[in-house]
């Protein structure tokens, strides 16, 4: 029963990793941007939640209708003012710019909020749990995080495959030059994708802050897990990202049952193993891998 419990808890944890990672996957799939500040943007979301929920005296969930549009707007502004310009100067420029952004965010947060670890007010959800039987207890908070991740990923997938916005995003991911040529205005496409990526990062940050604690430097660690989920799942594939996140979560918790001190190491070893054996990702079809090899994004 111990193992079943570990797998369930691992899946739930994996949902959180996938939620952080989906924005990273989207931004890379569409804009070919490796956003090294993604984890820090998630932490910014947690701090924004902290400010809003203490100012209004409400649990952080109540502030989401304010927080998510603000994060979306920040993502749009970031793309239009910074990343869009960086993209015009080759592949290395965006990497350097987002790295610089990451360092700046971490230091500004330290100045503004000190390095004390903080937590978010999750209201009555914080400690609530229910029994599945067989001694397995599931935290409502973990379950909410997992279901939110599934909902966000399904929503994104639907928007990409069914809407006119999604068609333009996929066409742009396939071939930027031709997308321009057939009349797609690429700037708004990129801006909305960046906005969505930052909004999902902020939402993930809120869950990080309610489930555990965060501090100004938490972004780097968050980024590493998000990256690993994206790579294990197959770059550019959202369902792959969910599966990749769950593979990480399950590995971490199951190995933790054996020996807690090897749990995180096991996650990184899994990542290395996948990168060595199937660099296209565990959950991509053969055809999608060919697409990747040709430099074609495989969103969806």
137 beta partners: 131
Classify residue 129 by its DSSP letter. Answer: E
Of 5-13, 91-99, 173-181, 210-218, the window that binds other proteins (rule: CB under 8 A) is 173-181
How many residues form the binding site for other proteins (CB under 8 A)? 23
Q: Which stretch binds other proteins (CB under 8 A): 95-103, 171-179, 217-225, 260-268?
A: 171-179
| CA atoms of 25 and 27, how far apart (whole Å) | 6
d(CA 26, CA 201): 11
Provide the residue count of the chain: 300
> Which one-letter DSSP state was computed for residue 79?
I
Q: Is residue 299 part of the contact set for other proteins (CB under 8 A)?
A: yes
Distance CA 194, CA 292 (A): 21
- Nearest approach in angstroms of CB 194 to other proteins is 20
Site string for other proteins, 272-291 (x = CB under 8 A): -------------------x
| Residue 168 binds other proteins (CB under 8 A) | yes
Residue 38 or 170: which CB sits closer to other proteins? 170
Cα-Cα-Cα-Cα dihedral of 248, 250, 255, 257, to 10°? Answer: 140
Of residues 53, 7, 17, the one with CA closest to residue 145:
17
CB closer to other proteins out of 38 and 168: 168
Among 1, 124, 164, 293, interactor with other proteins by CB under 8 A: 164
Least Å from the CB of residue 177 to other proteins: 7
Residue 87's nearest CA partner among 7, 162, 193, 212 is 193
Please list every residue from 182 through 241 that binds other proteins, using CB under 8 A: 182-185
Residue 296 binds other proteins, judged by CB under 8 A: yes
Q: Please, what is the minimum distance in Å from the beta carbon of residue 176 to other proteins? A: 11
Beta carbons within 10 angstroms of residue 72's beta carbon? 20
Pair 196, 75: CB distance under 8 Å = yes
Binding residue for other proteins (CB under 8 A) from 115, 137, 178, 285? 178
| 300 interacts with other proteins by CB under 8 A | yes
Residue ranges in contact with other proteins by CB under 8 A: 164, 167-168, 170-171, 173-175, 177-185, 291, 296-300
């Amino acid at each position: 029963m111990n193992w079943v419990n570990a797998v369930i808890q691992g899946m739930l944890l994996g949902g959180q990793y996938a939620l952080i990672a989906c924005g990273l996957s989207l931004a890379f799939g569409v804009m070919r941007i490796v956003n090294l500040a993604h984890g820090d943007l998630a932490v910014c979301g947690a701090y924004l939640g902290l400010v809003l929920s203490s100012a209004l005296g409400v649990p952080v969930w109540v502030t989401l209708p304010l927080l998510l549009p603000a994060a979306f707007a920040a993502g749009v502004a970031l793309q239009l003012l910074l990343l869009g310009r960086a993209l015009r100067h080759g592949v290395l420029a965006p990497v350097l710019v987002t790295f610089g952004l990451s360092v700046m965010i971490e230091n500004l947060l330290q100045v503004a909020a000190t390095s004390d670890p903080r937590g978010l007010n999750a209201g009555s959800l914080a400690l609530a749990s229910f029994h599945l039987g067989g001694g397995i207890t599931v935290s409502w908070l973990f379950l909410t995080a997992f279901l939110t991740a599934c909902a966000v990923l399904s929503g994104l997938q639907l928007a990409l495959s069914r809407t006119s916005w999604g068609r333009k995003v996929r066409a742009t991911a396939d071939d930027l030059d031709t997308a321009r040529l057939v009349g797609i205005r690429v700037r708004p496409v990129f801006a909305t994708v960046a906005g969505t990526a930052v909004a999902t990062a902020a939402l993930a940050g809120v869950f990080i802050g309610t489930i555990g604690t965060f501090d100004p430097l938490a972004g780097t660690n968050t980024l590493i897990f998000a990256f690993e989920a994206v790579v294990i799942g197959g770059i550019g594939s959202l369902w792959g990202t969910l599966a990749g996140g769950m593979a990480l979560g399950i590995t971490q918790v199951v190995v933790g049952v054996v020996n807690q001190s090897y749990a995180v190491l096991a996650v990184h070893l899994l990542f290395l193993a996948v990168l060595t054996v199937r660099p296209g990702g565990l959950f991509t079809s053969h055809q999608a891998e060919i697409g990747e090899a040709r430099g074609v994004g495989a969103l969806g």
